[in-house]
Amino acid sequence: MDAHNMNILLAGFGGQGVLFAGKLIASSALIDGLEVTWMPSYGPEMRGGTCNCSVCLSEKPIGSPLVTEPDVLVALNKPSYLKFVDAIKPGGICLIDQSLIDVCPERSDIQFVAIPATKISEDNDLQTLANVILVGQLLKLTGFSTVEVLEQAIEHSVSAKHTDLIAPNKMALKIGYNAVNQADCK
């Protein structure tokens, strides 16, 4: 998989930080000088409802921001995993929050990576940052950018009234990058 030409779909419940995670990926790609699209999609319920975000990274102009066959799926909950796992391109990656998703894929043509992001965030007093932990793991898996550039993206993406969240987000990113795949699908 070409890390600079990739379609990513992030999906979960509203309030899990799906859109923020997508913005981090998109912001890092902009800093790296890539072409980028970021397209959110909300369920009717907003917080607690379904939510997903398409991010396209490319070295060339992007024709459509819609991701129907992702190279990568980052699933933060089981309904999102079930809805989108079959859409992943063969040879693609499925990254899940194992704390909330207790499945093994029936597909053998994708790389399946499971880290307990929610548990890791709680164990490190970083509640609500499972999304950034998953972005860190995605960086490790694909090399779409660097830790340093993603830290810059965090600084750009966290609002001015929440600057106290910059350091915890950077910590979550590094913890996610260093997390070990726990998928036990045999």
Reported as a single tens digit per residue, the pLDDT across 6-16 is 999 999 998 89
Is the Cβ–Cβ distance between 72 and 93 less than 8 Å?
yes
Average pLDDT over residues 149-177: 95
Per the domain annotation, does 128 fall within a domain? Answer: yes
Q: How many CB atoms lie within 10 A of CB 161?
A: 7
**Residue 62 has what pLDDT?**
94
Residue pair 154/131 in contact (Cβ under 8 Å)? The answer is: no
Q: Residue 183 has what pLDDT? A: 84
Distances in Å between the Cα of 121 and the Cα atoms of 56, 73, 126 are 27, 20, 5
Q: Is residue 147 part of a domain?
A: yes
What's the pLDDT tens digit per position in 55-105?
999 999 998 888 989 999 999 999 999 999 999 999 999 999 999 999 988
In this prediction, residue 44 has a pLDDT band, given cuts at 50, 70 and 90, of low
Residue 43 has pLDDT above 90, yes or no: no
* pLDDT of 45 strictly over 80: no
Average pLDDT estimate for 118-140: 97
The answer to whether position 1 is within a domain reads no
- Residue 98 placed within a domain: yes
Q: Does some domain include residue 185?
A: no
User: How many structural domains does the chain have?
Assistant: 1
Nearest C-alpha neighbor of 49 from the set 24, 18, 22, 23: 18
Residue 184 domain-assigned (yes or no): no
68 in any annotated domain: yes
Q: Domain containing 42 — which CATH number? A: 3.40.920.10
110 in any annotated domain: yes
**pLDDT (0 to 100) of residue 47:** 58
Distance CA 140, CA 119 (A): 19
Q: What is the mean pLDDT of residues 154-171?
A: 94
Give the residue numbers spanning the domain of 26: 6-178
Q: How many degrees, rounded to 5, is the angle at CA 20 between CA 14 and CA 24?
A: 155
